[in-house]
Chain A
């Protein structure tokens, strides 16, 4: 790597630092409030274009699980956006809840697992 390229690269690294700091200062991320059951249902229907039979929202409002027939529709917050995946409902029900955290294995390199804060799982109405 010649000297000019090295200087250019160092300058670029410095510029990246400045821009990241500036974006932190600006506080202009998208506003994301906690999910409600209604909002979660709307988002899941928009994402999956499927009817949603029931929705369970995490205790912190940062994610939710919807049931659509044999599928579990999972949505959870990452940054100021949401990530969604679907999985077999039976797999979702079998997921383990530990210390109030439900870990759902999604089996996708782009989203390997979702961790949702839940008081109980499977939902009380289904566990009964």
Chain B
């Protein structure tokens, strides 16, 4: 069940035209973009499948939101501009934490990993959406908004607006936006970092619309010209089959649970960081970053002034 006004549905023709434009401009050598046929097909098939999955579970999630709203703390009018502004901030903050948990805990990573499974970064990658997000229950994170008193339809519309915003940032065709825009909003540059698997860039820039959340919570990393983004997963997937892309991490979890020797290990495999293992034989993103940082040449000593004090 969806509200009558669905920003995502309305934006689909724009998505299609934008991808056409990106491909044609890249073909003409006027824009930076790479498309591999099977990769593109997989991304778009995952987008279609995500729509179907959304239809299957949409009724449940909307009913839950309605239930929360019926027990709301406040009655918030849908017609005030300030309410939309407040909801924009609250929804975007919710998205930040949803996105962060989707990267930092394996159970939710299993639902999100498919979005990062392409070694390409183009507008079709934006549509490489989850099939199992509903099952993983991340939609529960948005229920407090309805419990606070934001009408469920309003929350659904704001979520849609956020999703539509995040489409255009999946491109290499746009370099940097003006500095003030880069400071406040999520941009192609910031989101390229998010999709990169360079150790420096791992688990950074979780923002939906406002990059300020990453700056606030210490997860911001700027894109560096001297370190081009390498896209995809730390362990890239060797398939374009949408079924394998959508479910491979779930299969990995199942295999690990079968070999777990204690409840503690089972919990670790399920809710530890992706890459967690009881004996530390695998690497999490923290391990990879630490190993990479240890291998970096030491920074030059800061210069000392005449008094011998070290200046920053």
* A26 and B27 form a contact (CB under 8 A): yes
Alpha-carbon distance between A30 and B24 when the two chains are bound, in angstroms: 16
Alpha-carbon distance between A99 and B37 when the two chains are bound, in angstroms: 30
Question: Which of B19, B41, B236 meets A78, CB within 8 Å?
Answer: B236
Residues in chain B near residue A78, CB distance under 8 A = 236, 238-240
A22 at the interface (CB under 8 A from B): yes
* B235 and A13 form a contact (CB under 8 A): no
B20 at the interface (CB under 8 A from A): yes
Give residues in B with beta carbon < 8 Å to A. 9, 12, 16, 19-20, 23-24, 26-27, 33-41, 44-45, 47-48, 51-52, 55, 119-120, 124, 199, 232-233, 235-240, 244, 248-249, 251-252, 255, 291-292, 295
* B35 and A49 form a contact (CB under 8 A): no
* B48 and A28 form a contact (CB under 8 A): no
* B26 and A29 form a contact (CB under 8 A): no
* B235 and A110 form a contact (CB under 8 A): yes
* A15 and B291 form a contact (CB under 8 A): no
Interface size on A, residues (CB 8 A): 37
A70-128 interface with B by 8 A CB criterion:
76, 78-85, 108-112, 114
* B34 and A29 form a contact (CB under 8 A): yes
Residues in chain A near residue B41, CB distance under 8 A = 16, 20
* B237 and A111 form a contact (CB under 8 A): yes
A113 (CB) vs chain B CBs: closest residue: B238
* B37 and A108 form a contact (CB under 8 A): no
B123 (CB) vs chain A CBs: closest residue: A19
Q: Provide a sorted-by-A list of 28 A–B residue pairs whose CB atoms are within 8 angstroms.
A: A9-B51, A15-B12, A15-B16, A16-B41, A16-B45, A19-B19, A19-B44, A22-B23, A22-B24, A24-B37, A26-B26, A28-B23, A28-B27, A28-B35, A49-B292, A78-B239, A78-B240, A80-B36, A81-B119, A81-B236, A83-B236, A84-B235, A108-B252, A109-B252, A110-B235, A110-B237, A110-B238, A111-B238
